[in-house]
Amino acid sequence: MSVTEFEYGKLSDGTIVKGFTIKNKNGLSATVIERGAALVSLMAPDKDGNFADVVLGLKDAAAYENNNYCLGATVGRNANRIAGACFDIDGIHYELVKNNGENNLHTHPEYGYHRRNWEGKAEEGSDSVIFFLEDDGKLTGMPGIFNITVTYRLTDEDELLIAYHGVGDTKTIANCTNHSYFNLAGHDAGSVYDHEIRINASRFSADKEGAIPTGEWTPVEGTPMDLRKSTRIGEHIDDDYEQLILTKGYDHNYCIDDADHTVREIAQVTEPVSGRVMTVLTDLPGVQFYTANWLEEERGKDGVVYHPRDAFCLETQYFPNSINQEGFERPVVDAGAEYKTSTIYKFSVLK
């Protein structure tokens, strides 16, 4: 196992962005950078031992300065949407920026975690990179100061572990995720329609206009949302079904069956031609399955232009708008209490 630190590039103001590549004994490697604490490359083998980069990314540090689609980035302090861009905690009212219609998406377009410069560090001889950020809520409207770390660890079992740890000086929302866009055929391979996905969820959060959950835990049985058995992504994505029409494809929170805050397998995706398989494990109660429906002509690395549905995301999380929705577990931590959660993306090949 090795970690290599290097200068990834510079931002427009001259700030140097450090990058880190973690490589395991099998040749699997992950490259992460300080801007957005983002995963910018993941080289994984296919069934014949040929490696390809399976995450979409941008061409250089300057491109990550904007990163409007949050490619590979850490998202927080609250991932996903908050209805009306406001919430209350213990009778105190907080107003956030309305950056998704009347709602808030991913906390802030400028000071959200995906647009911040983190401080990265790799321990010599380790298999991990740790990113640190002091998040002052004055920048976003969030409560107080929240000190957050994100740790990327690559194991010799071909697991990429992402662990979050935070402590704040005020009772606050804490709901982070990683927003990597995956294509197991390779980041430049185009549509993910032929990928096969399974999600261990018998219910999902039905949305209303603005992709805000209605509050109902809707059964997937008998609908195109039923992914409990391995299903080709393109099989039902264009069905005449209100929920898919509303979000131009899959962009919904799935309510994980029997979630109890222990790490468990929640999803698996297979790309049949390459034979690559990605298994997702987490201790969180929900996962946003998103088929990059809004990814419009984004110029990425290697000169590739990304289009809608060229990738899929599996963003582990507390449910969208859970801070406001009765019946959803609220992602709130007390002042001085620890916020801890982890997600694992495990790679393998078909036998």
Q: Which residues are catalytic?
A: 179, 315
For the purposes of burial, counting CB atoms within 10 Å of the CB of 48, is it exposed (0-12), middle (13-18) or buried (19 or more)? exposed
Instruction: Tell me the one-letter amino acid at 204.
Output: F
Residues pairing with 175 in the sheet: 78
Is it true that the peptide bond before 198 is cis, omega within 30 degrees of 0? Answer: no
- Contact 192/181 with Cβ under 8 angstroms? no
Which has the closest alpha carbon to 76: 318, 297, 306?
A: 318
Cα separation, 95 vs 218, whole angstroms: 29
Cβ atoms within 10 Å of 139's Cβ, excluding its own? 13
Q: Name the region of 175 (left: φ>0; alpha: ψ -120 to 50; beta: rest).
A: beta
| Three-class DSSP category at 279 | strand
Q: Can you tell me the distance from the alpha carbon of 63 to that of 11, in angstroms, rounded to the nearest whole number? A: 8
Instruction: List the structure tokens of 106.
Output: 């991913």
| Beta-strand pair 332-333/172-173 | antiparallel
Q: Tell me if residue 21 falls in helix, strand or coil.
A: strand
Distance of CA 145 to the CA centre of its chain: 23
The CA distance from 263 to 137, in Å, is 30
The token pair at 275 is 């034979």
Q: Give the span between the Cα atoms of 46 and 54, in whole angstroms.
A: 11
